Amino acid sequence: MFGDFFAAIGDILTSESAYINAFTFAVFLAFGASGEWVAEKSGTLNISIEAMFLAGAFAAAVGLDRSGSEVTALLFAIGASLLVALVQAHMSHNLAANQFVVGLTLNILVLGLASFLASELEFTTTQSDTIAIPLLSDIPLIGSALFDRAWLFYLIYAVVPICWWIVYRTRWGLELRASGENPQSADVSGIDVNKRRRQGIYVVGITSGVGGAYLVLAAVGQFEDSIVGGRGFIALTAVIFGGWTLRGTIAGCLLFGLVLSFRLSLPGLGYELNGDLLAAAPFLVTILVMAVFAARVRPPNGLAQPFIRGLK
Amino acid sequence: MVADDHSSGTHGAVAGSSDPAAAPQRAARRRAALRLDGVTKTYGAVTACDRVDLELVPGRIHGVLGENGAGKSTLMKIMIGLVLPEEGVITIDGDRVRLEDPTDAARYGIGMVHQHFSLVEPLRVWENVALGETGKLRPADVRNRVGEISERYGLDVDPDDVVGELPVGMRQRVEIIKCLRRDPTILIFDEPTSVLTPAESEGLFETLRQVVDEEGRAVALVSHKLDEILHATDEVTIMRQGQVVDRVVTADTTASALATAMVGRDVSLRSERVALGVVDTAAEGTEIPDTHPEDEPTVLELDGVTIRGRDGRTLLDDLSLSVRAGEIVGVAGVEGNGQRPLGDLLSSLTALDDGEVRVRGATVAAGAAGAMATAGIGVIPEDRHDSGVVLDMSVAENMALIDAPAFQRRGLLQKSALRERALHLIDDFDISCSGPDAPLSSLSGGNQQRVVLARELSASPAVLVAAQPTRGLDVGAIEYMTDRLRRAAEDGVGILLISSELEEILDLAHRIVVISSGRIIGEMSRADADLDRIGMLMGGQAA
Amino acid sequence: MSTGFDRDQVEAISLTPGTHEHEDPTDFHAGERRSDGTPVHSRFVGIGETVGLYVVCVVIALALSALLVEATGGDSGAVFAALLDGSIRGPGRVGVTIGVAVPLLLVALGTIVATRAGLVNIGQEGQLFMGAAFATYVGTELAAPGPIVIICLMIAGAIGGAIWAGIASVLKYRRNVPEVLTTLLLVTVAAQAVGYGLKNQWLLLAPAEGRANRQQISEQLAENDRIPRITWFGNEFPTSVFFALAMTVLVGVVLAATVWGFRVRMLGQNPQTAHRAGVAASRYGGAAMLISGGFAGLAGGAMLAGGDFGNYTLVPGFPSNIGWTGLLVALVARQQVAGAVIAALVFASLRTGSGFLAATGVERRVTDVVQGLLVLALLIPPALLFLRARRRELAAAGDRT
C-alpha cells in the first residue's frame, strides 16, 4: 500500500504531464494566494476569495464571448472580482460588519448569481493557446510546465514579485503591515487603518480576478458554476501554511497544486484510485498541513479583528 | 531666533539653528507656538475639557498637572488631532487651525510621545520611525537619521532592532526618535516616567532640556506626579474636573500648593498625599497595617518560577517569593519587567515552564482554567478589561463570574439571588451604578474596578493579588482602594501588591521585593527600605 | 445589545456584527471619559429610524433582485407573485414552507450556540450531510419498532454532525487551527465521504435491485420509520416542527438561564476572564462546537425522515444548501432564538416559492441571489446605526470648532 503510494509519487515527479497539471493548479492558487497574503498582512482573513475567483472566472467567460478578446476578458474578470472586493472591503472595514459573515454571504451570493446568470446568458469560451518560450521551454521535465503556457500563466511571474514589492518596499506596504500588526498604533501614527485594509482587499480582488480568468481561459477552457469548488479556501490556507511569508505561501500553493493535480495525473499514469478520496485529498491534506503548521506560525496580531478608533 | 520663524510649520534639520543664550530667558512676550483658547469637549454628561486655555512657548517645558479624570488626556488628544473639540480656538504660530487627525497635527509640527507607545512591535526601529510620514520610502535615509538623532541625544538605539525585542525604556527612546525625526516645534509627553527607572528618568529630563534649550522647541509634559512636574518643568498649568484652575511658574511654587490646587482642597489625608507623591514616608511614617505576619503561616509561595513567552523570551526568570497571611508584600519595579506575566500567572492565564506555585502549602496547577481562583487567589488585574470583567454582562453577572454554580437550583441560575447578592455588594462597596442589571460597560472605570474588588474580596481569598490597583483612579478612589487593601490584610488576607508607583508600596507594604527583567533582585523589610537602593535595583543593578 | 467584537484571539471571533455600545475607556487613561457612569455616546437614532433603515435596506435588496430579473429578460412582478404563491398563497404551500423551515431552524439553533461561545462554525452544510448519512445508516439498518427507529436515527444524525464538528474542535483546541477554515474545508470532505458511502453497499448504497446501475442512492426509509406528518387547515407538515420548537425553547433557556449557558456566554465575550474564572475554552467551547454540529446533524436526520426533501432517501447533493441557509438564518436573527424562528420561515418561503418560478421562465436559482442580497442588506443596518452614532458625535463636535 505505502509502496504503491511512494511509487505513485515517484512516477508523478518524473512525469512531464504531471508537472504540467501540478503547475496549472499551483499557479491558479498562487494568483489568489499572493493577493490574499497582502490582505492578511493588513489584517483581513478574506474568505470571500472564493467568490472573487468565481466572479472573475464567470466574467472572463462572458467577456471573452462578448468581446472575443482575451485581454478584454481579463479586464472583465478583474472588474467583477474587484466588485466583490469592494463590497467585502466596505462592509467589513467601513461598516465594521464581521468579515467572516460578509465573506460567507458573498460566497453564497456570488455562487447563486453566477449559476443563475450562467443559465440565463448564453456564452461559449475557448481555451487560449500556449506560447512556448524559446530555450526555457526545452528544459527537461519542468520546461513545458513552466514555459510553454498560455499568456495568462506568465502573469504569475509579475504578480508575485509585485505583491512582495508593494508590501516590503513601499511606504504603502509599511503602513499596510502596521495596520495588520497593531492597528491602534498605526492609527495614532496617522495611518488610515481601515483604508489600508480595504486596499489590501482590493489587491486580492485584482489578483484573484486574474486567477479566475486564468482558470477559465487557460486551465479549464469553459465555465461551470463548480469551477472554483472550494479551492479558494485552499489558496487561503496556503497563506497560513506559509506562516504569512510570501515565499511560504507560494510553497503552499505548489504543494496544494500538486495534490489537486492528483485527480488528473494519477489515472493518466495508470493508477486506479478511489475518486472520492482523490477529490477530498486536497482538502484533507490542507487540514492535515494546518494541524501541523498552524500552531508554529505567528499571524499578524490584528488578523481578523475589526478596527474602530477608540475600541481596543 | 528659532522660535519666530516657525510659520511654515516645519523648519530646517533637527539641529535647527540654536541660540543657547536666548532660550532659557523668561521670554514671556515670546510668541506662543501653540495656543488653546476656550477649548471645550464633552462626552455625554461629562465635560472632559471646559473652556481650557493653554499656551506652549518655544524654549520652555510646560507641565500639565492633574489627577486622573481631570481632562489631561482629552486635552492631549485634542492637541494631536485624535479628538475634535466642540468649542474653542486652536492657534499655531498665530494661525487658527483645525486638527482633524494626527497627520494634521504632525503637519503643524506637533509630535507626541505616548505613554502607551504608538509602536508596532514586530516592525524594526527604522520602520516604526518611518511610519506615519509621507513621500517615498527610503530605508537607508531613515536608518541614517535614526542613527544621527540617537547619537545627538545619546539615546543609543540601533535602527535595525525589532521593537518588540527591546526593553520598555528603550521603546520610549524609539518613540522619542520617531517624534523628533519629524522635527516638531511642539512636543507632548504623556506620563513619560511611568516606564522608566529613576536613572532613566533623569536621562529623559536631560534630553528634554536639550530639546528646549538648544533647539528652542516647546514641550508639554503631562503628568499626575508632582515631583516630576516640579523637577522638570518651567511653568505649570493645573487642571481639575476639566477646567484650568491655576497657572504658575514652577520655581515659585511648592508641592503642597500644587497638590491643593490639583485636588481642590487642602490635602490632609495622607493616603491622598501618597497618591500625589508628596509624602515623605521617612518623616511621616506609613500606613502599613498593624498586623504581625511574621507569626502567621505562609499563604502564597512562588518557587523558582520561570515563564517563557511564545517568542522564546524569558518573561519570569527563576522567580521566588512568598506572602504570609495578613502581610502586604510590595513588588516594586519599572513597568514591563515581568509584572504582567506575574499577574497573569496568578490569574491562571499562563502555564509554567519551570517552578511551582503553592497556596497554603498545596501546589496549584498553573495555567489550568480557574485553578488559581479555586485555590484561593483573588486578583485585581492590571487591565480589568482583559481578565477582570465581561463588559457586556450585567453588574450582578460580573459579580458571579466565578461562583455562579452556588446560585444554581434545579439546573437554573437563580437570577433573583444573584441580584440580591449584587445589591448587597453594591451597597457594601459603595458602587455607583443604576442597579444590579446595569451592563458593566455603563459604569465608570473606578466603579468597574470596585465591582472587581467586591467580587474578589467577597470570595474570602487566602491571597489577594493587586496589580497596579490604583492606576487610572482619582485621588478619592485611590484612598478607598488602599483602605480596602489594608483592611483585607488586617482580616488575614495575604496581599501581593504589584505596583510601579513606589510611593504606594512604601506606604503599604510590610516587605518589598524589587523585580527587574523577570527576576527578584532584591528584598528588604519596610524598615530597611532605602530609596536609593530600590532605585538602583529597579535599574537592574544589584546593590 | 448582544455580543460584539472579541478583543482577544483570531480564533474567537463573534459572528455578530459590530454592536459595541461602549468605547474602551482604557485608551490613554481609564475613567476620564465617563466619570459619572453615563455611556459615552447616547443613541442618536430612535426605534422608528431603526425600522426605517431596515425597511430601506430590504427594499433595496429586493429592487436589485427585480432589476436582475428584468435585465435577464424576466418579469419581476411575475417572479414575486410566483414566490408568494409558492410559499404562502398556494393551497397547502404553508405546510411545505413549514416543513422546509424545520431543518433551517435546527441548523440556526446550533449556530447560535457556537457563536455565543465565540466560535465561528461555518461548516453546517457538511455537518448536516454527515448527520443525514448517519441517520440513513441507522434508519435503514436498525430493525425495531418505528418510533424507536425514528429516535435512534435522529440521535445518530446528531452524533454524525457532532463528530464532523468535533474534528474542527479538536484541531482548534489541540493544534490551534482556526475553526473558521477547518469547518469550511470539511464541507467538501463530507460530500466526498458520503459520496463514497453511496457507492458501497456495505455502507449506504441501496441493494442493486430497484435502482439504476451506478445510481448513487440509499435504501428508502420504511414507512414506519418516517417522522409522522399531520394536516392542519389543509397544510401538511412533519411533526418534527414541534421538536424544533421545543429545541428552540430549550436552547433559549439553557443559554439565558443556566450556569452552563452563563459560562458559554462568558467564554464568547471575554475568553481571558472566563479562563481565570474557571471556564476552560476547550471544554465549554468544545461542547458548544459539538452541540452546534449536533444540531446540524439533527437537521440532516429531520430532512431525511421528514419527507420534504427527497423521497426518504439519501443521494449526493442531499443537503442542497440547507446548511448554508440555516447559518444565514442565525446571522440574520442576530443570535436570538426567537428571531431564528421568523428568519427560518422567511428563508423557507424563498425556497418553497422558488419551486413556482418555472412558469415564469426564470431560473429558480434567482432565489439564491435574492437570499444573498437580503442577508447582505440585513447586515448593513446594525453596523450603520452603530457607526453613525459615533460619526454624529464627531461631526457635531467638528462644526463648532
pLDDT over threshold 80, residue C152: yes
pLDDT band at residue A2 using 50, 70 and 90 as cut-offs: low
pLDDT in tens, A81-106: 999 999 999 999 988 888 998 999 99
Q: Check CB contact of B348 with chain C, cutoff 8 Å.
A: yes
Report the pLDDT averaged over residues C362-372.
88
Q: Tell me the chain B residues in contact with residue C33 when contact means C-beta distances shorter than 8 Å.
A: 43, 46, 48, 74
Average pLDDT over residues C237-248: 96
How confident is the model over B204-214, as a mean pLDDT?
Answer: 90
Averaged over B519-525, what is the pLDDT? 91
Are C14 and C118 a contacting pair, CB within 8 Å? yes
How far apart, in whole angstroms, are the C-alpha atoms of residue B51 and residue B44? 16
How far is the C-alpha of B97 from the C-alpha of B7, rounded, in Å? 12
Region of poorest pLDDT, from A58-62, B265-269, B410-414: B265-269
The stretch B234-247 carries a mean pLDDT of: 91
Name the H helices within chain A. 2-13, 16-41, 49-67, 70-93, 99-120, 143-147, 151-154, 156-168, 171-181, 183-188, 193-213, 231-241, 246-268, 275-293
Q: Which residues of B touch A312 (CB under 8 A)?
A: 385
Inter-chain touch B372–C276, beta carbons under 8 Å: yes
- Give the sign of the dihedral formed by CA B264, CA B265, CA B266, CA B267: negative
Q: Does C266 touch chain B (CB under 8 A)?
A: yes
* Cβ distance of C7 and A295 shorter than 8 Å: no
Name the band, by pLDDT with cuts 50, 70 and 90, for residue B62.
very high
Kindly determine whether residue B119 and residue A182, on different chains, have CB atoms separated by under 8 Å.
yes
Q: What is the mean pLDDT of residues B257-262?
A: 85
User: Is pLDDT above 90 for B265?
Assistant: no
Complex confidence, ipTM:
0.87
- Which residues of B are less than 8 Å from A179 in CB distance? none
pLDDT at A293: 84
Minimum distance, in Å, between the CA of residue A256 and any CA atom of chain B: 28
Confidence at B271, pLDDT banded by 50, 70, 90: low
Q: What is the pLDDT of residue B320?
A: 95
**How many residue pairs bridge chain A and chain C with CB atoms within 8 Å of each other?**
185
The chain-wide mean pLDDT, for chain C, equals: 84
Task: Decide the pairing of beta strands B87-92 and B95-97.
Answer: antiparallel
Q: Do B122 and A188 touch (CB under 8 A)?
A: no
Whether residue C182 lies within 8 A of chain A, CB to CB, comes out as yes
Residue B281 has pLDDT above 90, yes or no: no
Q: Which of A125-139, B212-226, C223-237 has the lowest mean pLDDT?
A: A125-139
Is the CB of residue B103 less than 8 Å away from at least one CB of chain A? yes
What is the distance in angstroms between the Cα of C385 and the nearest Cα belonging to chain A? 9
Per-residue model confidence as pLDDT tens digits over A226-248: 999 889 999 998 998 899 999 99
What is the number of alpha carbons within 13 Å of residue C377 lying toward its C-beta? Answer: 20
- Look up cell 540654536; give the residue: B18
- Write out pLDDT tens, residues C190-234: 999 999 999 888 888 888 887 887 888 999 999 999 999 999 998
Q: pLDDT: is C150 or B441 the higher one?
A: C150
Q: What is the structure's pLDDT at B164?
A: 86
A115 contacts C365? CB cut-off 8 A: yes
**CB–CB of A160/A29 below 8 Å?**
no
pLDDT tier, B275 (very low <50, low <70, confident <90, very high otherwise) = low
Give DSSP secondary structure letters for A144-192: HHHHEEEHHHHTHHHHHHHHHHHHHSSHHHHHHHHHHH-HHHHHHTT--
Is the model more confident about B228 or about A59?
Answer: A59
Query: Taking 60 as the threshold, does the pLDDT of residue B6 lie above it?
Result: no
> How confident is the model over B428-436, as a mean pLDDT?
91
Q: Please give the helix or strand (H or E) that residue B427 lies within, else none.
A: helix B415-428
Which range has highest mean pLDDT (A93-97, B325-329, B474-478, C51-55)? B325-329
pLDDT at residue A58 greater than cutoff 70? yes
Looking at beta carbons, which residues of chain B come within 8 Å of C262? 397, 400, 404, 413
pLDDT for C399 equals 36
Q: Strand, helix or coil at C185?
A: helix
The tens digit of pLDDT for each residue in A265-300 reads 877 777 767 778 888 888 999 899 889 888 888 889
Residue A108 has pLDDT above 80, yes or no: yes
The reported pLDDT for the residue numbered C13 is 35
pLDDT digits (tens, 9 = 90+) for B128-151: 999 888 888 999 999 999 999 999
Higher-pLDDT residue of B73 and C373 is: C373
Cβ pair B459, B402 in contact under 8 A: yes
> In chain A, which residues have their Cβ closer than 8 Å to the Cβ of B310?
298
pLDDT of A189 over the 90 cut: no
Average pLDDT over residues A30-37: 97
Of all residues in chain C, the percent with pLDDT exceeding 70 is: 85
User: Per the CB < 8 Å rule, is B132 touching A170?
Assistant: no
Local confidence band at A36 (pLDDT 50, 70, 90 cut-offs): very high
- N- to C-terminal Cα separation, chain A: 54
> How much is the pLDDT for B283?
56
Please determine, for residue C313, whether its predicted confidence score (pLDDT) is greater than 50: yes
Categorize the per-residue pLDDT at C391 as very low, low, confident or very high, splitting at 50, 70 and 90. low
- Span B145-168, pLDDT tens digits: 999 999 988 888 999 999 988 887
Report the predicted TM-score, pTM, of the whole model to 2 decimal places: 0.87
For a pLDDT cut of 90, what percent of chain C falls above it? 62
Check C177 against A87: CB less than 8 A apart.
Answer: no
Mean predicted lDDT score pLDDT of chain B: 85
Number of neighbours of residue A75 by Cβ within 10 angstroms: 17
Tell me which residue in C37, C258, C263 faces B412 most closely, judged by beta carbons: C258
Residue B223 Rama label (left phi>0; alpha psi -120 to 50; beta) = beta
**pLDDT in the model for residue B4:** 40
Residues of C in contact with A284 (CB under 8 A): 189
From CA B332, how far away is CA B503, in angstroms rounded?
10
Distance between CA C171 and CA C166 in Å, rounded?
8
pLDDT of residue B61: 94
Instruction: Out of A171, A186, A190, name the one closest to residue B120 (CB).
Output: A186
With bands split at pLDDT 50, 70 and 90, how would you rate the model's confidence at B118?
confident
Cβ contacts (< 8 Å) between A301 and chain B: which residues? 121-122
A84 touches chain C (CB under 8 A): no
- Interface B–C counts its CB contacts (< 8 A) at 184
Q: What is the residue-averaged pLDDT of chain A?
A: 90
Q: Do B84 and C30 touch (CB under 8 A)?
A: no
| Of residues B90, B392, B472, nearest to C269 (C-beta) | B392
The reported pLDDT for the residue numbered A123 is 87
Is the CB of C43 inside 8 Å of chain B's CB atoms?
Answer: no
Of B97-111, C3-17, C119-133, C325-339, the least confident: C3-17
Residue C292, pLDDT score? 98
Residues of B in contact with A309 (CB under 8 A): 82
A296 by Cβ neighbours in 10 Å (0-12 / 13-18 / 19+) ranks as: exposed
Q: What is the pLDDT of residue B19?
A: 42
Neighbouring CB atoms inside 10 A of A124's CB total 9
Grid cell digits, residue C113: 450556540
Distance CA C239, CA C293 (A): 22
pLDDT at C19 over 60: no
**Higher confidence at residue B388 or residue C212?**
B388
Q: Do C397 and B412 touch (CB under 8 A)?
A: no
A46 touches A99 (CB < 8 A): yes
Q: How confident is the model at residue B285 (pLDDT cuts 50, 70, 90)?
A: low
Q: In this structure, are residues A59 and A205 in contact, taking their beta carbons and an 8 Å threshold?
A: no
- pLDDT of A71 reads 95
Residue of B83, B393, B413 with shortest CB distance to C257: B413
Does B316 score more than 80 pLDDT?
yes
Question: In DSSP terms, which residues pair with B64 in a beta bridge?
Answer: B222, B237
pLDDT higher than threshold 90 for residue B182: no
* A8-22, A38-52, B428-442, range with the lowest pLDDT: A8-22
Q: At residue B333, does pLDDT exceed 70? A: yes
State the average pLDDT over residues B370-387: 92
For helices A16-41 and A171-181, the axis angle rounded to 10 degrees is 80
Touching subunits of A (3+ CB pairs, under 8 Å) are B, C
Enumerate the residues of chain B whose CB falls inside 8 A of the CB of residue C274. 369, 390, 401
Which residues in chain B touch residue C396, judged by CB atoms under 8 angstroms apart? 86
Task: Please check the confidence at residue A50 and state whether its pLDDT lies above 60.
Answer: yes
pLDDT score of B354:
95
Residue-level pLDDT at A231: 92
